[in-house]
Amino acid sequence: QYQRQPDVRRNRAVQEIYEPGSTFKIVTASAALEEHAFTTDEVIDVSAGTIRIGSRRVNDTHRYGPLSFTDVLVKSSNVGAIKIGERVGAERLGQYVARFGFGRRACGDLPGETPGMLSDSSSWSASTLASVSMGYEIGVTPVQMVAAVSAVANGGELLQPRLVRAIRNGAKRSEVERAAPRRAINARTASELLGIMEQVTERGTATAAAVPGYTVAGKTGTASKVVNGAYSKKDYHASFVGFVPSRQPALTILVVIDSPRKGQIYGGAVAAPAFSRVAAQALRYLRIPPTLNPAPPVYVASADDGAGGVSASIQRIAAPIDDGLDVRTGPPVVPDLRGLGAREAALRLARLGLTARLSGDGIVIQQDPEPGTPINQRTSCRLWLDRALPSPPSPGSPER
């Protein structure tokens, strides 16, 4: 009987609609930077702590002096976000809301997914523009918000979330075809926004989202819930959305707390700490090496037989060399990791300054880049694991 209750069977990731609040300021800021309406250091006067739109008044939680564009997001000023939205304008902001995937189904793999709620920007009043700029009067699903923030992590490209990454039949692994990415913003805008979102977790509203050893980028949100047709003064959605490691993203995580109690209501106080705990355990499980203060690499001189001696060039190899790792001269290359366990393979990559991206469990059966590929500017290596190495092809069978 308990399992028959609709609310229990509800897939909240794709069916639950909520007003995102300040996490949505990421979209407002993206539109402003992409359209060159603001620069990151332009000063916005929010010193009054309040702004009037018609007969309506919107307040900041604190009174600030003049804030830079960056600090409007870092401190999450509603007044500043509204002023940014007003300069961008309803038509352009509406375009970027759509670019980030809001107003349509994000995934498609799960039944019952809702497109959320979004009105046509051509009908927005000044009050609606102000509300959307700070994440109100728009209904989003958690998966839409994760996809939108992941676009920033992906250099501006919006990817379609998929429930299944690959289908495995014995040793055969077939990747699920993914939709071609669509560009929400250009790479430069994404880079600027990434820097701002890192500051949110370093000195802004989400210091509690920090994960020891890793850089984190994200944004807090606290939005009043609609109860009986009016915004409540005691019921809120408190949230934090972010990705980690911020410069080599592996995870995007959204935490939404429905109606937090016990005195704290803000996303930075109740959702950000949950993000930190979930991210720390997930990174440890995925064996993603730390990005802050990693173990220092060992540098050795490389031999140059053509010159009859040792060259003056210095090559980065590994640190420390105590597990049988081959020491080679010349440019560093990706090692052959096939047949190794996940832990050992990830450790060897980490010692070369590379991040392991793991799929499956067991031992490494395939890797990308291939063994012997020069490392150069590469930052990660994709590893597929299985319980046993694949059988060699029978004579005459086609190569894969």
Q: Which residues are part of the catalytic machinery?
A: 22
Closest CA to 145 of 289, 25, 33, 257: 25
Q: Distance between CA atoms of 275 and 239, rounded to whole angstroms?
A: 9
Q: Distance between CA atoms of 261 and 235, rounded to whole angstroms?
A: 9
Strands (E), 245-362: 251-258, 299-304, 309-316, 355-359
| Cβ 17 vs Cβ 116: under 8 Å | yes
How many degrees, rounded to 5, is the angle at CA 67 between CA 19 and CA 207? 60
- DSSP bridge partners of 310: 303
- For the four alpha carbons of 53, 56, 59 and 65, in that order, the dihedral sign comes to positive
How many degrees, rounded to 5, is the angle at CA 49 between CA 48 and CA 50? 90
62 CB burial (10 A radius; 0-12, 13-18, 19+): exposed
State both tokens at 362: 């067991």
Q: Distance between CA atoms of 121 and 117, rounded to whole angstroms?
A: 12
Looking at residue 347, its amino acid is L
